[in-house]
Structure 1
Amino acid sequence: MSAANDFDTTLAAAKQGADWAWTAIYDEFAPGLLRFITSQGAAEPSDCLGECFVQVVRNLPGFTGDQAAFRAWLFLLARNRVVDEWRAARRRPSSPTDDVERLHEARHQTSAADAGVGEDQSVQQILAALPPDHRAVITLRVLDGFSVEETAQIIGKSAGAVRVIQHRAIKRLKNALARRTQ
């Protein structure tokens, strides 16, 4: 969906329930949303992505806007799903066996064949060490290419707050990377 007309046509068809339109929307936006959800530390990113698209189906008839507004709206929905998951996790105590399983997977996942995965995990570990708002801003601004204003809308903060959070997050990332290379 590169052209605005293609997006408008696809969106209108999705509002009418056309399967091809939903497939096109999912194929276009799901990879970026999944990356964002994963970077935010969701325990079950694919479930969270599914819940996000369920919300899209429910709320699409009321959506108005262009492709950029739709993309920002999707990321807002994804952010809300992640926050809901964080809240639910705080209400549920984790069992010690879950922690042992995660520790075992983390220690035994790297092999010569998946060395690139290890690098990706290092990036994920560094991002995971950031506070949630810092992680969200860095992911949205750097990886997903949203403007300051769009990022502010997605995370529910002012544009000035986003700039400050981004500055602080970059400073933390620099310090974390400096410690890793020493």
Structure 2
Amino acid sequence: MGGGGRRRGRTRSDDAELGAAVAGAQGGDERAFAVVYRLVHPGLLAQTRSLVGTEAEDVASEAWLEIARDLGRFHGDGAGFRGWAATIARHRALDHLRRQKRRPRTVGLDQEALELPGGQDTAEAALEFLSTRRALQLIATLPREQAEAVLLRVVAGLDGAAAGRVLGKRPGSVRTSAHRGLRRLARGMEGERDRS
């Protein structure tokens, strides 16, 4: 179970802090693990919520148990850790859905899910024009594949390759899904501005 390597493309401003915290947590530092949790949990919870809805807290807890258990086997940087944790969370969510014998569904996101990485990018530009409530409503209307790609790329801050590993798809396919989802959000935003 390793992740890591260098990622191309966008980086999150807290990747270096996360990488240092992961190293500390691997050495047994409980405070460092608390930093890891604080930096990763909001995106992880949003990801699980998009798949399992109201049972997201339970699924995220299962994911954190696995993350804590296998932390010593992780090798990589902060960005790699985000991808590794997202993969574990997705597997726990899919296991949960199999147990429940139902299909994944896209549901609304909470405020924490909209705390986007710094820097002006397409997603941030599209979402800043919408009220939080309306943004959540629009994201919930995206097809599941697009919503999941937007969540991993924008909310969790993963690059195309890492998001592709999480979803079991090619990076280009994930980037395309995220782009289409963001384009849909932008069209929704334009429609709202025209009606205002």
Higher relative helix content:
1
Counterpart in 1 of 2:53?
42
Partner Cα distance (1:138, 1:62) in 2: 28
RMSD: 3.2
Give identity over the alignment, percent: 30
137 and 13 in structure 1: CA distance in 2 versus 1, 3 angstrom threshold = same
Q: Does 1:124 align with 2:136?
A: yes
**1:1-182 equivalence runs, <5 A:** 4=16, 7-8=19-20, 10-90=21-101, 119-174=131-186
Task: Report deviation, 1:53.
Answer: 0.5
Q: Deviation digits for residues 119-152 of structure 1, max 9, x if unmatched?
A: 5343333222323221111112223332111211
Which amino acid in structure 1 is aligned with residue 26 of structure 2?
Answer: K
Task: Report deviation, 1:56.
Answer: 0.2
150 and 6 in structure 1: CA distance in 2 versus 1, 3 angstrom threshold = closer
Counterpart in 2 of 1:107?
none
Q: Deviation digits for residues 149-172 of structure 1, max 9, x if unmatched?
A: 121112110012113322432344
Higher relative contact order (CA 8 A, sep 6+): 2
Identify unmatched segments of 5+ residues in structure 2. Answer: 1-12, 104-130
Check whether the contact 1:40–1:135 (CA below 8 A) recurs between aligned residues: no
Check whether the contact 1:34–1:49 (CA below 8 A) recurs between aligned residues: yes
SS in 2 for 1:81: helix
Partner Cα distance (2:66, 2:170) in 1: 25
Check whether the contact 1:42–1:48 (CA below 8 A) recurs between aligned residues: no
- Kindly name which structure, 1 or 2, has the bigger radius of gyration based on alpha carbons: 1
SS in 2 for 1:65: coil
Task: Report deviation, 1:2.
Answer: 5.1
Which amino acid in structure 1 is aligned with residue 140 of structure 2?
Answer: A
Task: Report deviation, 1:67.
Answer: 1.3
Check whether the contact 1:37–1:49 (CA below 8 A) recurs between aligned residues: yes
Bigger Cα displacement from structure 2, 16-25 vs 53-62 = 16-25
120 and 46 in structure 1: CA distance in 2 versus 1, 3 angstrom threshold = farther
